[in-house]
């Protein structure tokens, strides 16, 4: 978002304020007040620009210089403090509401083609019969060939009710279709999936904390309880959830935590803004065994929920340490409908800890910031007396190593080969399989291997990358000549066989194919449902919830 203010604009109000008001500001403060220093430097800045603009040999564009100044100021803050011009307020609105004007698709663009990768259920594109795999040839009469993905995304978005003319090509038959799509308000739901897993454990996945997300989680939970009255526990999946509205985090926690319990407090420079956020309603269920899943991409409001559940000993956190964003942002109005999104406070979990991992107020000599070392993290106590620490995200009560994809799988995904094969499979198998139990047959996997014949999916294994790094270092330190023969022999032994790599990672590749194929029939819901059975964190959560004694042990 910081790139916004690098674009040309005609707003120079900042300059006017500096030149016209600098001297008058100075009169209000004495020289012992820090505001005197601010006023003095504003006056110096205004005078400097005035002289530079008057006498510099070439013309200087005022908007470019002003926004370079804003850019420089923002470099001294955290990455969450930002300037948002009027033309980008829709993105700020989307972060808060999950709504935007558009057609409801995701696309992938390379130099040759623009492919629709996902269609949102019930969206204008879904209603028009557009499918994943369809190739976009033109938008509003403009060819998409060579067009950047950012420009394509911009053209797909627009005011609800506006029309988009689109030409698509069928990925199998090559037939072209002309479509007129009427844009609508797209609502990206905070709850992307809810259902039962492991036969008797509820599962809810949240993607963001936007307006009414607390109510959506509550409705999903109440529906699960109604359909499965003997449900043994619930998994709340916050992995990959970047956060959002603080109030909604409190609402989500309130589903499982009784009335008048502290969930989070905020403290900042403006003391009158400090506040405690407590639950306001009786819990929907204050006793059902609860597991919250987190990973390194669970941030902000996700960490408020996870931190509160942990500090109040209301549930078990499983997965990996969360991101560590303990900062609160507020939007402030600026002239010409622009906004300043500024960090105004830090938030603290019920035990009193702040999980912020990086101190942006202290920088190295090169201007870089670092994560807080473990040695400086302080200990706090949960309600039951368990030790928890600040300064580095929410640490899980039951850590599970993240699942890492093999290099061959990463390459097949990046090259779109898994995606393209799923498209072919969909059109040759019109009958929809059951999402949760679909399995790719051995013949189908052999067909996929045949599909890959002649296609380029070259890659380097991590071992090969490590060898190259060793070779480079050894040459710099002049050790390489002494070990050259041994190195070359090792290099030959470790040279990978692409075909063997496919077979060695067969189960992983099959899983990715199955999830992509199911996505063709059931969209995002199907992909998630299919993924649950092979999800290590979900399976660990089910195992914990099936053993009450283990669940209780983790809370001691």
Q: What is the pLDDT of residues 158-201, one digit of tens each?
A: 999 999 999 999 999 999 999 999 999 999 999 999 999 989 99
* Averaged pLDDT for residues 48-53: 91
Please tell me whether residues 176 and 323 are part of one structural domain.
no
Q: What is the pLDDT of residues 239-293, one digit of tens each?
A: 999 999 999 999 999 999 999 999 999 999 889 999 999 999 999 999 999 999 9
Same domain, 178 and 197: no
Q: Is the pLDDT of residue 392 over 70?
A: yes
Same structural domain, 182 and 198 = no
Please tell me what DSSP assigns to residue 192.
E
Q: Please tell me the predicted confidence (pLDDT) of residue 253.
A: 98
Indicate whether 21 pLDDT > 70. Answer: no
Question: What is the distance between the alpha carbons of residues 254 and 205, in angstroms, rounded to a whole number?
Answer: 17
Q: Are residues 163 and 215 in the same domain?
A: no
CATH number of the domain to which 103 belongs: 2.30.42.10
What is d(CA 225, CA 216) in angstroms, rounded to the nearest whole number?
14
Q: Can you read off the two tokens belonging to residue 522?
A: 């059931």
| R_g over Cα of the chain | 28
H-state helical runs in 396-497: 407-414, 417-428, 442-452, 462-476, 480-494
The answer for residues whose C-beta is within 8 angstroms of residue 58's C-beta and 6 or more apart is none
What pLDDT sits at residue 118? 96
Instruction: Using alpha carbons only, give the angle 366, 369, 373 rounded to the nearest 5 degrees.
Output: 125
Worst-scoring range by mean pLDDT, 226-235, 474-483, 494-503, 514-523?
Answer: 494-503
**Digit-coded pLDDT (tens) for 513-527:** 999 999 999 999 999
How far apart (Å, rounded) are the C-alpha atoms in residues 156 and 87?
16
What per-residue confidence (pLDDT) applies to 281? 97
Give mean pLDDT, residues 476-498: 79
Q: Are 331 and 415 spatial neighbours (Cβ–Cβ below 8 Å)?
A: no
In this prediction, residues 36-55 reach a mean pLDDT of: 90
CB 232 within 8 A of CB 239: no
Quote the strand ranges of 495-548, DSSP E: none
pLDDT at 234: 98
In a domain, 62, yes or no: yes
Is the per-residue pLDDT at 13 higher than 70? no
Q: What is residue 494's predicted lDDT score, i.e. its pLDDT?
A: 65
Tens digits of residue pLDDT in 131-143: 999 999 999 999 9
Q: In the chain, what percentage of residues exceed pLDDT 70?
A: 94
Q: Return the DSSP state at 517.
A: H
At 421, phi and psi to the nearest 5?
A: -65, -40
Mean pLDDT of the chain: 90
Largest CA distance in the chain: 83
Total domains in the chain come to: 4
- Per residue, the 3-state secondary structure of 170-183, as one string, reads CCCCCCEEEEEEEC
Backbone φ and ψ for 315, nearest 5 degrees, come out as: -165, 180
Domain range holding 414?
407-540
User: Does residue 199 sit in the same domain as residue 65?
Assistant: no
With 0-12 / 13-18 / 19 or more C-beta atoms within 10 angstroms meaning exposed / middle / buried, residue 220 is buried
Could you tell me if 120 and 69 lie in one domain?
Answer: no
End-to-end CA distance of the chain: 44
Band (pLDDT 50/70/90 cuts) for residue 369 is: confident
pLDDT score, position 6: 40
User: Cα(353)–Cα(448) distance, rounded to whole angstroms?
Assistant: 51
Average pLDDT over residues 62-81: 90
> Are 315 and 237 in a shared domain?
yes
Together in a domain, 430 and 466: yes
For residues 528 and 205, the answer to whether their CB atoms sit within 8 Å is yes
Strands 387-389, 379-381: parallel, antiparallel or unpaired by DSSP?
A: antiparallel
Residues annotated as catalytic are 300, 311, 325
In terms of domains, do 149 and 120 share one?
A: yes
pLDDT at 7 over 60: no
Q: Tell me the torsion sign for CA atoms 320, 324, 328, 332.
A: negative
pLDDT category, 27, cuts 50, 70, 90? Answer: very low
In whole angstroms, give the CA distance from residue 173 to residue 22. Answer: 68
Residue 22 lies in a domain: no
Answer for the pair 349, 253: CB distance below 8 angstroms, yes or no. no
Q: For residue 104, which phi and psi values (nearest 5 degrees)?
A: 85, 50
Sole residue written with tokens 């989500």: 252
More confident position, 298 or 110: 298
* pLDDT of the residue at 1: 43
Question: pLDDT-based confidence at 28, cuts 50/70/90?
Answer: very low
pLDDT of residue 96: 87
Average pLDDT over residues 301-311: 98
Give the CATH number of the domain where residue 319 resides: 3.90.226.10
The stretch 103-107 carries a mean pLDDT of 96
Given this model, what pLDDT does residue 356 score? 95
Q: How confident is the model at residue 93, as a pLDDT?
A: 87
Residue range 107-116: average pLDDT? Answer: 90
Residue 32: what pLDDT? 56
Q: How far from 17 is each of 24, 334, 335, CA to CA, in Å? A: 11, 12, 11
């Amino acid at each position: 978002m910081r790139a916004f203010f690098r674009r040309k604009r005609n707003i120079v109000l900042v300059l006017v304020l500096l030149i016209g008001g600098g001297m008058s500001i100075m009169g209000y403060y004495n020289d012992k007040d820090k505001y005197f220093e601010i006023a003095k430097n504003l006056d110096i800045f205004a005078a400097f620009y005035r002289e530079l603009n008057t006498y510099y040999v070439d013309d200087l564009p005022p908007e470019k210089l002003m926004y370079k100044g804003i850019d420089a100021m923002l470099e001294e803050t955290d990455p969450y403090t930002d300037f948002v011009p009027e033309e980008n307020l829709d993105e700020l609105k989307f972060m808060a509401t999950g709504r935007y004007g558009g057609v409801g698709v995701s696309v992938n663009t390379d130099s040759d083609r623009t492919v629709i990768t996902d269609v949102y259920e019930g969206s204008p594109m879904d209603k028009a019969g557009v499918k994943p795999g369809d190739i976009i040839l033109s938008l509003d009469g403009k060819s998409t060939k060579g067009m950047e993905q950012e420009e394509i995304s911009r053209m797909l978005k627009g005011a609800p009710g506006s029309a988009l003319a689109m030409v698509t090509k069928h990925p199998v038959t090559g037939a072209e279709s002309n479509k007129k799509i009427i844009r609508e308000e797209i609502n990206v739901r905070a709850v992307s999936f809810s259902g039962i897993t492991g036969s008797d454990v509820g599962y809810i996945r949240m993607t963001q904390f936007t307006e009414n997300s607390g109510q959506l989680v509550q409705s999903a939970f109440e529906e699960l309880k109604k359909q499965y009255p003997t449900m043994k526990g619930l998994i709340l999946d916050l992995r990959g959830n970047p956060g959002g509205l603080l109030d909604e985090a409190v609402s989500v926690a309130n589903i499982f935590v009784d009335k008048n319990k502290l969930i989070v407090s905020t403290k900042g420079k403006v003391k009158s803004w400090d506040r405690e956020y407590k639950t306001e309603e009786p819990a929907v269920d204050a006793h059902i065994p609860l597991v919250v899943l987190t990973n390194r991409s669970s941030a902000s409001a996700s960490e408020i929920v996870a931190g509160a559940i942990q500090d109040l000993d209301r549930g078990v956190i499983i997965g990996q340490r969360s991101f560590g964003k303990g900062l609160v942002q507020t939007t402030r109005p600026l002239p010409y409908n622009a906004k300043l999104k500024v960090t105004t406070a830090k938030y603290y979990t019920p035990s009193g800890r702040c999980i912020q991992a990086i101190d942006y107020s202290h920088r190295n000599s090169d201007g870089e910031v670092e994560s807080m070392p473990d040695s400086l993290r302080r200990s706090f106590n949960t309600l039951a007396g368990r030790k928890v620490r600040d300064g580095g995200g929410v640490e899980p009560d039951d850590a599970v190593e993240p699942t890492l994809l093999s290099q061959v799988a990463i390459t097949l995904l990046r090259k779109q080969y898994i995606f393209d094969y799923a498209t072919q499979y969909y059109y040759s198998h019109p009958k929809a399989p059951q999402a949760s139990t679909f399995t790719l047959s051995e013949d189908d996997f052999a067909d996929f291997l045949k599909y890959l014949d002649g296609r380029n999916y070259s890659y380097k294994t991590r071992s090969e990358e490590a060898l190259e790094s060793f070779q480079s270092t050894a040459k710099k330190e002049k050790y390489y000549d002494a070990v050259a023969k041994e190195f070359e022999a090792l290099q030959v032994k470790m040279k990978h066989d692409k075909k063997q790599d496919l077979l060695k990672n067969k189960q992983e590749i099959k899983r990715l194919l199955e999830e992509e194929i199911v996505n063709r029939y059931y969209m995002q819901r199907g992909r998630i449902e299919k993924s649950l059975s092979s999800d290590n964190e979900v399976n660990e959560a089910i195992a914990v919830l099936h053993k009450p004694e283990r669940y209780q042990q983790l809370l001691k």
